[in-house]
């Protein structure tokens, strides 16, 4: 877990000062105990329903993180062929993988069919036609679930809301029954389920339950049409605490789901992401300069928006704390910013921090959508990643080198 021990922030008992000395900064650091605890919270809450809990790989796709969840028995929700390759490399059986996403290519479909994934979450009529053709060409049958857009407002940030009519995701609820009938007529598809995902960082489960209620109405209508489904996929989206949010009670949510599925012969599938990894990780960074101005003070650190995009992209809040607590040092109100040549390059604004130049800072709740959204903007090497397990830190992604960044562009014209 992540807490202060003897005035120094530690991850599973390992001081972040030690990790910085060994692996440098910026660096992502994850707690294996926190990963396990988050997964077990879902497994325990939903135990009576025996769900397939598919970790949403887009939240954190590091191979060691995926391997950790695979060993716990997780399935995986993927949105690309690259994510499928990662999941298989991490040791997960393909039949625990669901493939979501609006733009699956033929090559990705072929890859998934050859691997033998659990299900394709199909998001359009044209995708159905393409998948049917690809499966027929390979002499296979594709297991299909339709992602239905229930037009339920998740009441979250518009960039991570996915269940409204004007979102690009899914098949409109009013059209879904007809699309299912069309899908059932395609000879190379097996219609096995229904899927829904309305958004991310939800702190109220009521929209999720409302969406499930709509799906169950549709499931009953499909049964009247002779289309009997095997599973219902309720997606993910449960929020975490970044600042003052109150995360949903998973057990209470599970009870509401169980009440609605009682008496139905439906396998439950779910796709949590952020809630499994978000608060299990920090971004460790060092203060390069304290820049004190007349109207504004800045802590310029060695991490930047290319390492953690969420503050710049969503104006998202991440807690930022000194790694070492110093008695008697007055707090200074600063914007915590990186060295990238953009005014949008910030990790936090107006933070009261008792720090000095050269100190280490920890950006909290950085385990989800941190490393996976990172880039090489300004030709910056992406950060190292470290997993702490049983009191031992292990490098699970080494820091990129400048030679590696240039390697794919070496074919220069000769003078």
Domain contains 414: no
Residues 351 and 218 in one domain: no
DSSP-assigned beta bridge partners for residue 199: 161
Encode burial over 134-159: b for 16+ CB neighbours within 10 A, e otherwise: bbeeeeeebbbbbbbbbbbebebeee
256 and 332 assigned to the same domain: no
Q: Is 311 annotated as a binding residue?
A: no
User: For residue 214, which of 160, 247, 170 has the smallest C-alpha distance?
Assistant: 170
Q: Please check whether residues 76 and 143 belong to one and the same domain.
A: yes
**377 among the known binding-site residues?**
no
The b-or-e profile of 369-389 (16+ CB within 10 A means b, else e) is bbbbbbeeeeebbbbbbbbbb
Q: Say whether both 77 and 127 belong to one domain.
A: yes
Q: Could you say which of 276, 303, 333 is where a domain stops? A: 276
**What's the mean per-residue pLDDT of the chain?**
94
Indicate whether 150 and 251 sit together in one domain.
yes
**Domain boundary residue, one of 276, 307, 335:** 276
Q: Does residue 114 lie in a domain region?
A: yes
> For residue 132, what are the CA distances in angstroms to 43, 129, 144, 156, 227?
34, 5, 10, 35, 18
Domain for residue 361, yes or no? yes
Per the annotation, does 342 bind a ligand? Answer: yes
Q: Is 369 marked within a binding site?
A: yes
38: left (phi over 0), alpha (psi -120 to 50) or beta: alpha
Same domain, 213 and 282: no
271/169 Cα distance (integer angstroms): 15
272 is in an annotated binding site: yes
Is residue 82 annotated as involved in ligand binding? no
The answer to whether residues 242 and 373 belong to one domain is: no
**Whether residues 247 and 293 fall in one domain:** no
Please give the chain's pLDDT, 415 residues, in tens: 899 999 999 999 999 999 999 999 999 999 999 999 999 999 999 999 999 999 999 999 999 999 999 999 999 999 999 999 999 999 999 999 999 999 999 999 999 999 999 999 999 999 999 999 999 999 999 999 999 988 776 554 443 444 445 567 789 999 999 999 999 999 999 999 999 998 888 999 998 999 999 999 999 999 999 999 999 999 998 999 999 999 999 999 999 999 999 999 999 999 999 999 999 999 999 999 999 998 999 999 999 999 999 999 999 999 999 999 999 999 999 999 999 999 999 999 999 999 999 999 999 999 999 999 999 999 999 999 999 999 999 999 999 999 999 999 988 887 7
Together in a domain, 144 and 213 = yes
Q: What confidence tens digit (pLDDT) does each residue in 82-139 have? A: 999 999 999 999 999 999 999 999 999 999 999 999 999 999 999 999 999 999 999 9
- 404 is annotated as contributing to ligand binding: no
- Please confirm, yes or no, whether 27 is among the known catalytic residues: no
In order, the DSSP letters of 19-67 are HHHHH-SSEEEEEHHHHHHHHHHHHHHTGGG--EEEEEGGG---HHHHH
Task: Enumerate the β-bridge partners of residue 10.
Answer: 3, 15
Helix axes 32-45, 63-72, angle to 10 degrees: 40
Q: How far apart are CA 34 and CA 31, in angstroms?
A: 5
Same domain, 24 and 144: no
Q: How far apart are CA 178 and CA 146, in angstroms?
A: 12
Tokens found for residue 415: 């003078």
Please check whether residue 401 lies inside any domain of the structure: yes
φ/ψ of residue 59, rounded to 5: -70, -40
Among candidate residues 27, 54, 119, 341, the one labeled active-site is: 341
Is 155 among the domain residues? yes
The residue from 230, 257, 276 where one domain ends is: 276
Whether 338 has a binding-site annotation, put simply, is: no
CATH of the domain at 343: 2.40.37.10
- Residue 374's domain spans which residues? 2-29+278-409
Q: Angle, to 10 degrees, between the axis of helix 81-89 and the axis of helix 106-115?
A: 30
What's the per-residue H, E or C state across 176-200?
Answer: HHHHHHHHHCCCCEEEEEEECCCEC
Give the chain's domain count: 2
In a domain, 390, yes or no: yes
- 210 lies in the same domain as 316: no
Q: Across-strand partners of 335?
A: 298
Closest CA to 76 of 93, 96, 62, 61: 96
332-337 and 346-353 beta bridge pairing: antiparallel
**Is 415 inside any structural domain?**
no
**37 and 22 together in one domain:** no
In the chain the first and final C-alpha atoms are separated, in Å, by: 57
Is 86 annotated as belonging to a binding site?
A: no
Q: What is the CATH number of the domain that holds 237?
A: 3.20.20.10
């Amino acid at each position: 877990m992540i807490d202060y021990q003897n005035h120094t922030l530690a991850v599973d008992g390992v001081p972040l000062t030690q990790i910085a000395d060994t692996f440098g900064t910026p660096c992502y650091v994850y707690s294996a105990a926190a990963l396990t605890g988050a997964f077990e919270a879902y497994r325990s809450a939903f135990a009576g329903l025996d769900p397939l809990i598919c970790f949403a790989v887009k939240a954190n796709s590091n191979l060691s993180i995926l391997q950790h969840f695979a060993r716990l028995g997780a399935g995986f929700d993927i949105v690309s062929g690259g994510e499928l390759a990662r999941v298989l490399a991490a040791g997960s059986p393909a039949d625990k993988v669901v493939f979501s996403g609006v733009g699956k290519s033929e090559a990705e479909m072929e890859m998934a069919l050859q691997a033998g994934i659990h299900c394709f979450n199909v998001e359009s009529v044209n995708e159905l036609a393409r998948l049917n053709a690809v499966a027929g060409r390979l002499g296979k049958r594709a297991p299909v679930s339709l992602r239905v857009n229930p037009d339920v407002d998740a009441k979250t940030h518009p960039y991570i809301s996915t269940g409204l009519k004007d979102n690009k995701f899914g098949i409109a609820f009013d059209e879904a029954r007809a699309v299912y009938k069309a899908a059932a007529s395609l000879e190379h598809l097996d219609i096995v389920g229904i899927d829904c995902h309305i958004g991310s960082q939800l702190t109220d489960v009521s929209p999720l339950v409302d969406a499930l209620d709509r799906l169950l109405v549709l499931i009953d209508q499909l049964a009247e049409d002779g289309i009997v489904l095997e599973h219902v996929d309720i997606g993910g989206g449960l929020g975490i605490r970044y600042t003052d949010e109150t995360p949903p009670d998973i057990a209470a949510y599970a009870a509401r789901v169980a009440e609605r599925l009682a008496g139905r012969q439906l396998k439950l599938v779910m796709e949590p992401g952020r809630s499994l990894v978000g608060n299990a990780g920090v971004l460790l960074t060092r203060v390069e300069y304290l820049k004190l101005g007349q109207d504004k003070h800045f802590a310029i650190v060695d991490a930047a928006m290319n390492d953690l995009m969420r503050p710049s992209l969503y104006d998202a809040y991440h807690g930022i704390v000194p790694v070492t607590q110093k008695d008697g040092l007055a707090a200074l109100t600063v914007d915590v910013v990186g060295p990238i040549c953009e005014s949008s390059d910030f990790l936090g604004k107006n933070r009261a921090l008792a720090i000095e130049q050269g100190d280490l800072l920890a950006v909290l709740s950085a385990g989800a959508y941190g490393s996976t959204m990172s880039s090489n903007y300004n030709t910056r090497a992406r950060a190292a990643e470290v997993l702490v397990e049983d009191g031992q830190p292990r490098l699970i992604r080494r820091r990129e080198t400048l030679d590696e960044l240039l390697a794919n562009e070496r074919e220069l014209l000769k003078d």
